[in-house]
Amino acid sequence: MPNSTSVHAAGTSTVPVLAVPGKIIAVHLNYPSRAAQRGRTPEQPSYFLKPASSLSSSGAPVERPDGCELLVFEGEIALVIGRRTHGVSPEEGWAAVSHVTAANDFGVYDLRYADKGSNLRSKGADGFTPVGPALLPAADLDPAGLRIRTWVNGTLVQEDTTADLLFGFGRLVADLSQLLTLEPGDLILTGTPAGSSVVVPGDTVEVEVDAPGAPGAPRTGRLVSPIRQGTVPFGAFGAGPRVDDLQRTEAWGSAEAAGLAPASAPAAGTAAEPPPFDLTPELKARINSVGTATLSAQLRKRGLNAVSIDGLGSTRPTARLVGRARTLRYIPAREDLFESHGGGYNAQKRAFDALGPDDVLVIEARGERGTGTVGDILALRAQVQGAAGIVTDGGVRDLAAVAALEIPTYHAGPHPAVLGRRHVPWDTDLTVACGGASVQPGDVIVGDADGLLVIPPHLVEEVVAAAIVQEREETFIAAMVAAGHGVDGLYPMNAEWKARYRVWLEEQA
């Protein structure tokens, strides 16, 4: 199909109307749902090119190349440029679009490593850009009133609208036209919503674009793409397929969907899930009623001396921190490992996206202060998610902005450098070391001006109850010292003072 597609204008004859475009331009991220899944929201649109030879039409099979595992669909809305366009404004951009149709931006994640961001090999194969089956006249449509849906084997897997795109269609046309002259027939693929995933030979993917609110509710009809297996192996003279668990996770959308142990699953002997334990508002209030110094004393009485996270300062030293640990581990920087694990929806981004109310993200950074381990955007993400705090024994970027947030962040110091200078984000929700303390998912983290403590969940009730009693006793002792009594026999209390303390308690009741 190098000369034309069988895409037709809605209501026209069967004569092909969409010739091979001079350019196929695809947008990386444009739907908020997809941006949230990827863990990043771009400030401006970004693009890549697909070759015209990748174009195909409805019903044409899409081959998964021999030796590849991760063929991924992405249902999209395609804009057809109707006139020569250069240097237009966002308000003028939509007028340059003649038609809208359905598209599927197929790709194989097995070849992403070889592309260095170009997407040429991973998304440029013959047949990897099916479009159609009908063209909807743009003049009849509200660009913010379109809907995109994708089905796999008859099951709806993607559904979203253009009402809240990150970058509206007019803006995309205007942005591209600043440097490129858009020609009639050029295609712009406008991004995919959440729900993109892996398909295998034997599956059938269908994409449809419609305008439910427009007169007559026009629709493209379903763009049908049967998946079949390729049989020609890659030659040794070029990059061949290569996958790892990071690519599998990104291709499928999650580690669970990929059939892997979740990214949060730890190695043997570590905690997979926080143990059954409810950090209720009442329990939090009781914890907050006592200081970390008192809690530390009670932990020490139970043989736990190595439960303080040391050497860190807080962005909000007067704020109290109470929450349950979620964990993130960085390993020392190594170029090949950062290439495979540092980009995309990596462990760092997954950890911040997974935070919820009362969570404290504890980061193992090996005490390395020579680079940032968290910055203002991810700290803001944690705050928006309702997390209680962030604890890292490494550096913090954008410290002034992080300190301006309400969420307390404990850290080893500021540093302007990015993560990859010293760290590779490796894994989440497993036992980590932070500030000299071992921390497991589900441990209770308590912080105040005196420092940070790690309390095993099974000891929380016991330790807090004893700490409340201790602080009540110390309140009495302080009152007696203020009244002029000496500390001998009073601190700690002997039998005589204990008797007087019981009388004092009754008077306080």
Sequence ranges of the binding site: 375-378, 397-398
Secondary structure (3-state) at 475: helix
Tokens 């803001």 belong to residue: 380
Binding site members for Mg(2+): 398
CB of 102 closer than 8 Å to CB of 208: yes
CB 122 within 8 Å of CB 250: no
CA atoms within 13 A of residue 102's CA, in its CB half-sphere: 32
Q: What are phi and psi of 250, to 5 degrees?
A: -70, -35
In 70-168, alpha helices (H): 90-93, 112-115, 120-123
β-strand pairing of 389-392 with 321-332:
unpaired
Q: How many other C-beta atoms can be found within 10 angstroms of the C-beta atom of residue 475?
A: 12
Residues in binding site for substrate = 375-378, 397
Q: Is residue 99 classed as helix, strand or coil in its secondary structure?
A: strand
What is d(CA 44, CA 27) in angstroms, rounded to the nearest whole number? 11
At 162 the three-state DSSP class reads: coil
d(CA 119, CA 64) in angstroms, rounded, equals: 16
Give the DSSP per-residue string, 177-206. HTTS-B-TT-EEE----TT--EE-TT-EEE
The amino acid that residue 484 corresponds to is: G
- Say whether 204 sits in a helix, a strand or coil: strand
Residue showing tokens 């006249």: 137
